[in-house]
């Protein structure tokens, strides 16, 4: 199938890149079918059975369910938390331990050209099985977990046939349906949760597990024709540095997909423009008994700086396309204070205005307390990938068709965050983001549905299969 063939398929479903509202018919697809509940033993399902509510497992497989689950849970045992306070690459050495493990696993699974550089970036290839000239595509996920919550000693637990009620993660630690209504969509499924003391790491170890599982399936099913498929795993996405050292030339793909989205059907090619701001405030420490007219309390000035940030322009007060300022942390004493912010907005002009606002806040403190009292270091992290995806909409069309054929209703929405794909798109590799299945990232209430993970694997396989028809 050529590009126009794919586009015509999408047009029949009333999809056009000109407006998100025209996705409504796609969104009315029947909900994805639940898979038969697996037993403790390894089960295998055919593609037909994946799309049936009533079929029973057989020995022919699309993938071995327990292999996927075990692979993911094994990954969660690695503490790969990244750090914004580090100048090294990767930002934490523990990410390298996981990278070494992944490199060996890819080699053991028979992938070609497996390599890991000294910064922990992993590249590998599943060789094509067709003589046709086909595009080379890639799938990318990140190894690190968020600095916002501990990723050490993760105790993943499977809740089978989730009943839709509150979940006691540990005594006194409850994932309530009222606070986390996303749970309701997964009633009847098997979900993986934490013990409430750490994050889970589905962001993005679920993505890694799903990519590896899909490559294993394609390796074992030569009847599905595909071109060369590249796999890339990188550190430090959570601190906005994941794509900085990603070697796009070495990856050598026509386009790629990050598998780093959220729940079932997420497809994202609009993201925030992003920057980080580090504020430093110099104080003057004097004995409190003799401080009048002399002391400059940096801790108090830090509070004054934060009070200049509009209360209705924070993450907890915004949604959709609304941008925000987010205070990540404060370190302070009388003599010195440090504040760290992230700045986000989908609109490039508003994004520039937000950065200027932070600089102006620092200027106001200097005008009030003296030049040099406050400095603001603002650095751009990534930009909205939409301007790079719009000229390459066949990349989106293929995913939509793959989701349709996998029984997955798409949810095309802007990312209230970013992915490595945003930076990679600006480095010349169009790279939208597809769902990985995790929900409530970056905290102890994170969970992932096994059935959704299976659908990710199926969607990846379908993308590879459809792309092989690209030049027909």
For 441, list phi and psi in degrees, rounded to 5: -60, 160
Can 144 be counted among the known catalytic residues? yes
CA distance 300 to 297: 5
User: Which of these, 375, 370, 380, lies nearest to 343 by C-alpha position?
Assistant: 380
CA distance 135 to 469: 9
| Cα dihedral value 172, 177, 183, 189, nearest 10 | 80
And the tokens for 148?
A: 């916002």
- Parallel, antiparallel or unpaired: strands 433-435 and 255-261: parallel
The catalytic position among 236, 237, 268, 469 is: 237
Output the 3-class SS for 56-99: CCECCCCCEHHHHHHHHHHHHCCCCECCCCCCCCCCCCHHHHHH
Which residues are tagged catalytic? 144, 237
């Amino acid at each position: 199938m050529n590009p126009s063939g794919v586009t015509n398929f999408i047009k029949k479903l009333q999809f056009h890149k000109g407006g998100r509202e025209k996705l409504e018919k796609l969104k009315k697809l029947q909900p994805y079918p639940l898979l038969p509940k697996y037993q403790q033993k390894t089960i295998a399902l055919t593609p037909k059975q994946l799309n049936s509510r009533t079929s029973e497992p057989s020995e022919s497989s699309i993938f071995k369910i327990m292999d996927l689950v075990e692979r993911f849970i094994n990954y969660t045992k690695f503490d790969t938390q990244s750090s914004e306070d580090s100048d090294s690459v990767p930002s934490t050495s523990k990410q390298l331990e996981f990278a070494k493990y992944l490199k060996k696993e890819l080699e053991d699974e028979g992938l070609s050209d497996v390599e890991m550089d000294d910064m922990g970036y992993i590249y590998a290839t599943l060789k094509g099985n067709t003589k046709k000239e086909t595009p080379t595509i890639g799938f990318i996920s990140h190894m690190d977990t968020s600095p916002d919550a501990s990723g050490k000693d993760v105790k993943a637990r499977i809740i089978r046939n989730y009943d839709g009620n509150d979940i006691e993660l540990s005594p006194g630690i409850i994932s309530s349906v009222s606070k986390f209504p996303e749970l309701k969509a997964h009633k009847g499924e098997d979900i993986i949760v934490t013990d409430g003391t750490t994050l889970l790491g589905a962001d993005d170890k679920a993505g890694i597990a799903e990519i590896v599982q899909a490559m294993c399936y394609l390796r074992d099913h030569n009847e599905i024709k595909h071109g060369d498929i590249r796999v890339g795993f990188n550190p430090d996405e959570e601190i906005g540095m994941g794509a900085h050292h990603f070697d796009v030339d070495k990856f050598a793909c026509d386009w790629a997909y990050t598998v780093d989205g959220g729940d079932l059907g997420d497809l994202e090619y609009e993201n925030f423009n992003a920057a980080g701001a580090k504020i430093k405030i110099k104080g003057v420490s004097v004995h409190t008994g003799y401080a009048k007219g002399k002391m400059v309390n940096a801790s108090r000035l830090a509070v004054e700086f934060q009070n200049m940030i509009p209360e209705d322009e924070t993450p907890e007060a915004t949604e959709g396309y609304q941008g925000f300022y987010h205070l990540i942390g404060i370190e302070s004493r009388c003599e010195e204070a440090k504040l760290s912010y992230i700045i986000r907005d989908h609109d490039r002009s508003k994004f520039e205005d937000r950065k200027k606002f932070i600089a102006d806040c620092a200027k106001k403190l200097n005008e009030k307390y003296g030049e040099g009292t406050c400095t603001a270091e603002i650095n751009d992290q990534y930009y909205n990938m939409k301007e790079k995806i719009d000229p390459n909409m066949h990349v989106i069309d293929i995913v939509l068709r793959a989701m349709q054929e996998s029984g997955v209703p798409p949810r095309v929405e802007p990312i209230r965050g970013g992915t490595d794909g945003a930076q990679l798109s600006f480095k010349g590799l169009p790279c939208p983001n597809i769902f990985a299945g995790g929900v409530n990232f970056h905290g102890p209430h994170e969970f992932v549905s096994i059935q959704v993970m299976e659908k990710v694997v199926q969607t990846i396989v379908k993308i590879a299969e459809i792309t092989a028809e690209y030049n027909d």
